[in-house]
Structure 1
Amino acid sequence: MKSVESSSDRGPAVGRGPRMRAAVLAATISELTAAGYAALTVDAVAQRAGVHKTTIYRNWKTSDELVADALTGHFAADIPIPDTGAAESDLRALARSLVATMTTDAGRALLTTALSDAVRTPRLAEIKRALFEDRFRQAEPVVTRAVERGELLAGTDPAELLKALVAPIWFRLAFTGEPVDEATADRAVAVALAAAHAGVLRSP
């Protein structure tokens, strides 16, 4: 865990309270996107936000707490669960939403943090678990409804189907660096549905 330092360096004033907090958290996301978790410093965040470093120290004891708050603020809300009446369009909406989210600055910041040593920090590990596992849980009704309508085979495992849906998108984001767009999302849907129809995503 990185410890905080003391300094009197000042950037352009942004005031106090909610305005200051919003500026610091936005600056943290920008720094994560630009430099990554390992290179993030309180100095750089303070300069980008236009605040004293001491202002950050008074509100966040460590840079890990700062990162945790910045990511939570962007991703804590429940995701909207589509219910179009058809499995393909529901899954397409989920996949396109994931692409839209992960290609924002905040999404790229989450990606760099999730792939770094930050996940060894208990609070950041908890946030990662909540952001990914909870979203799978929230989206499971999409698969359950499709099974009930007879669109998917009985016994199709919702978690396994959703992992199959996310995997091609995540692979491009995290490993190959290939472009990720709505076409990527739509292909991921086709792959996940093909696997489900083949019966390979059934619960044991």
Structure 2
Amino acid sequence: MKSEGSPSRRASAVGRGSKMRAAVLEATITELTETGYAALTVDGVARRAGVHKTTIYRNWEDTDQLVADALAGHFAADIPIPDTGAVESDLRALARSLVATMTTRAGRALLTTVLSDAARVPRLAEVKHALFDDRFRRAEPVVTRAVERGELPSDTDPAELLKALAAPIYFRLVFTGEPVDKGTADRAVHVALAAARARVLPAV
């Protein structure tokens, strides 16, 4: 008789199809957070997900595809774009949303992955670019509406303003390890708005 913790009992509990896929991708995010990209193995993901490793090999070509699917799946959801009628409150909502997202397990997993040797893997590099490009594209209307309302100079580059907004947050997350919270987000808003209003973020 097999014990409660045996692989076959855990695998049958997880099941197949969408439940299995969700369990494996969630386990991949956890493994990335706790062990990093370089140490991630199919065996480790399988144990954490409660499936046999052959199940993973049948559904994913290799660990790079597994990591790419896990990260893309966690960040694929639409981001609500604020429209409060004022650029400062819109940007504050965006910045706080970024802080909330990047301080989750999935956010930390994304950072540790893109800052590792994984950055050299074409498939993962594509996921990184797609994720960040998509977020800037979705948020650009916040800036264009502010320009139309006369809150920002007419030549303000939306992408440059959004990069100025995100930069202080990522600096703490990646380089200094300082706490990242709502206060960090609000200060980033003031910095980005000051730069835009000083006309140092013009469209090229």
Q: Classify the TM-score, shorter chain.
A: over 0.9
1:188 corresponding residue in structure 2: 188
SS in 1 for 2:118: helix
Conservation of the 8 A alpha-carbon contact between 1:28 and 1:70: yes
C-alpha separation in 2, matches of 1:43 and 1:175? 31
C-alpha separation in 1, matches of 2:145 and 2:61? 45
Conservation of the 8 A alpha-carbon contact between 1:42 and 1:63: yes
Cα drift, residue 10 of structure 1: 2.8
Q: What is the total number of aligned residue pairs between the two structures?
A: 196
The 10-residue stretch of structure 1 (164-173 or 73-82) with the greater mean CA deviation from structure 2: 73-82
Q: TM-score, normalised by structure 1?
A: 0.93
Cα drift, residue 17 of structure 1: 1.6
Query: Map of 1:17-96 to 2, 5 A cutoff?
Result: 17-96=17-96
Cα drift, residue 75 of structure 1: 0.6
2:165 corresponding residue in structure 1: 165
Which amino acid counterpart does residue 62 of structure 2 have in structure 1?
T
Conservation of the 8 A alpha-carbon contact between 1:32 and 1:112: yes
C-alpha separation in 2, matches of 1:147 and 1:99? 25
C-alpha separation in 1, matches of 2:35 and 2:176? 19
C-alpha separation in 1, matches of 2:201 and 2:112? 29
Give the alignment's Cα RMSD to 1 decimal.
1.2
Which amino acid counterpart does residue 148 of structure 1 have in structure 2?
E
Q: TM-score, normalised by structure 2?
A: 0.93
C-alpha separation in 1, matches of 2:143 and 2:17? 43
Question: Structure 2 unaligned runs (5+)?
Answer: 1-5
Which amino acid counterpart does residue 142 of structure 1 have in structure 2?
V
1:10 corresponding residue in structure 2: 7
Cα drift, residue 113 of structure 1: 1.0
1:129 corresponding residue in structure 2: 129
1:201 corresponding residue in structure 2: 201
The 10-residue stretch of structure 1 (115-124 or 175-184) with the greater mean CA deviation from structure 2: 115-124
C-alpha separation in 2, matches of 1:55 and 1:10? 12
The 10-residue stretch of structure 1 (97-106 or 75-84) with the greater mean CA deviation from structure 2: 75-84
Conservation of the 8 A alpha-carbon contact between 1:10 and 1:53: no
1:102 corresponding residue in structure 2: 102
Cα drift, residue 77 of structure 1: 2.1
Cα drift, residue 154 of structure 1: 1.4
After the TM superposition, list the runs of 4 or more consecutive aligned residues in structure 1 that deviate by more than 6 angstroms: none
Cα drift, residue 33 of structure 1: 0.6
Q: Deviations over 1:124-150 (max 9, x none)?
A: 111111110121111111111111111
